[in-house]
Structure 1
């Protein structure tokens, strides 16, 4: 069995093995995956963190065997904070984004594994969640919406919730319809706490949106851009449009 490690800042994960194919997610530097099948130019993968399947272009990752993969996973990590940073190696430096987990003792570039992380290190844990989640989420205010995006250069609604929770050591699935299957239901809006996730559905009853509650009446979510709106029993009210844009289905708590 072969595995891969993303060795570029951020790369697209596509629905099919073609540049014209839809981008369904992204891989950040250092993220790992199982290789399912290879073609001439593309490789189908399943991500280690959340089992998300898609196609990545050949040349955008390192291929490793099972033994090296297990060694890689055993190494201590540096979690990159919102301001990001760089991994320096001799005269070369690769940019690292918030959400990246980097193992500075691993030879990403060549056999000489002398490299150094320069930047902001994230030191949050689950005990910091209630105090810090609102502050971290607001750092993404006005980041543009990008279908499949997972960074401050562009992010989608479930990528946003996944990334914020990951910053506190809590793993969530990639998509909103998967995230809603976990957590404990919050029965009343008055009982909402900061960091709870609110889920919304379409006319067919399918979950199609998620956002992070800042308090019992305010939500931050990615819709055109990361924005803050009011929410009530009916859903999200967009004051700029003067109408409800998302219909509330359920609120869940994970911490």
Structure 2
């Protein structure tokens, strides 16, 4: 059974308990697949976009697959570009945020599995912008000063890999949830001086340890979530924190997920 998130942001927890560790979040319009049902309060699901498994409150999802069944079998081609905006009907307004999925969006009307809505904010359409490096960099900058939040992947709070996952999602590139999983994908850039804006940089203490991640936004500058989403200096040694005036992360590798001509 497939479910679609019908609120701005739903929690995905490690255990069926509101006090349990937050391992990820589900944005409005994102899909999950039900694995099991513990009770009416907790269902175990797997996230459609990265296969992360956890527990959600089913009341925050629409599981009626008879509504717009064709949409449940397709991927969203549009995403909300506003930090915060409402998606509306005559009866209600649902607040949504940057990166939310908008199905069958024509620039105003949106056909969600939960009903027909209108969205008047800016949005990204993958038909015009798929794998766009320029758009990736613009979206990344929209996250500046979003607070660091372990397990988060939204403008209201994100961890390092959650930030990367969302900005790449919005140009049509699916990225796994955890840095060590992301670090084996894409093309390896062997030399720092060959890196270009949009490349993902990986950091860690040991040769095989990957504990941090960020996106290069221009030569010598990286955007990453550390306390908040912020821009710091990047060189062959690693990240030089402009606030702390010291190196905080050691560079391990750089990888590319799109053609250079994009």
Residue 139 of structure 2 corresponds to residue 133 of structure 1: no
Give the C-alpha shift of residue 52 in structure 1.
Answer: 0.8
Matched residue count? 249
Cα distance between partner residues in 2 of 1:202 and 1:115 = 48
The root-mean-square deviation of aligned C-alpha atoms, in Å, is 2.1
CA 1:4–1:235 in structure 2 vs 1: closer, same or farther (change >3 Å)? same
Aligned with residue 105 of structure 1, among 89, 108, 111: 111
Over residues 122-169 of structure 1, what are the superposed CA-to-partner deviations in whole Å (9 max), with x where a residue is unaligned?
13624531x333332122111110111111111111111111111111
Which residue pairs with 2:5 in the alignment?
Answer: 6
Which residue pairs with 1:35 in the alignment?
Answer: 34
> Where do 5+ consecutive residues of structure 1 fail to align?
none
Give the C-alpha shift of residue 117 in structure 1.
Answer: 1.9
SS of the counterpart of 2:73? helix
SS of the counterpart of 1:207? coil
Give runs of aligned pairs for residues 30-179 of structure 1, distance below 5 A. Answer: 30-40=29-39, 41-65=41-65, 70-74=70-74, 77-103=77-103, 104-108=110-114, 113-123=115-125, 125-126=129-130, 128-129=132-133, 131-179=134-182
Which residue pairs with 1:190 in the alignment?
Answer: 193
Over residues 41-74 of structure 1, what are the superposed CA-to-partner deviations in whole Å (9 max), with x where a residue is unaligned?
2111001111111110131112234996554334
Cα distance between partner residues in 2 of 1:155 and 1:100 = 15
Which residue pairs with 1:226 in the alignment?
Answer: 229
CA 1:70–1:127 in structure 2 vs 1: closer, same or farther (change >3 Å)? closer
Cα distance between partner residues in 1 of 2:178 and 2:253 = 15
> Where do 5+ consecutive residues of structure 2 fail to align?
104-109
CA 1:216–1:152 in structure 2 vs 1: closer, same or farther (change >3 Å)? same
Which residue pairs with 2:107 in the alignment?
Answer: none
Contact kept in structure 2, 1:83 and 1:98, CA below 8 Å: yes
Cα distance between partner residues in 2 of 1:190 and 1:77 = 34
CA 1:114–1:143 in structure 2 vs 1: closer, same or farther (change >3 Å)? closer
CA 1:225–1:201 in structure 2 vs 1: closer, same or farther (change >3 Å)? same
Cα distance between partner residues in 2 of 1:48 and 1:70 = 16
CA 1:6–1:200 in structure 2 vs 1: closer, same or farther (change >3 Å)? same
Contact kept in structure 2, 1:88 and 1:118, CA below 8 Å: no
Contact kept in structure 2, 1:191 and 1:216, CA below 8 Å: no
Contact kept in structure 1, 2:42 and 2:58, CA below 8 Å: yes
Cα distance between partner residues in 1 of 2:207 and 2:2 = 38
SS of the counterpart of 2:168? helix
Provide TM-score, normalisation by structure 2. 0.87
Greater fraction strand: 1
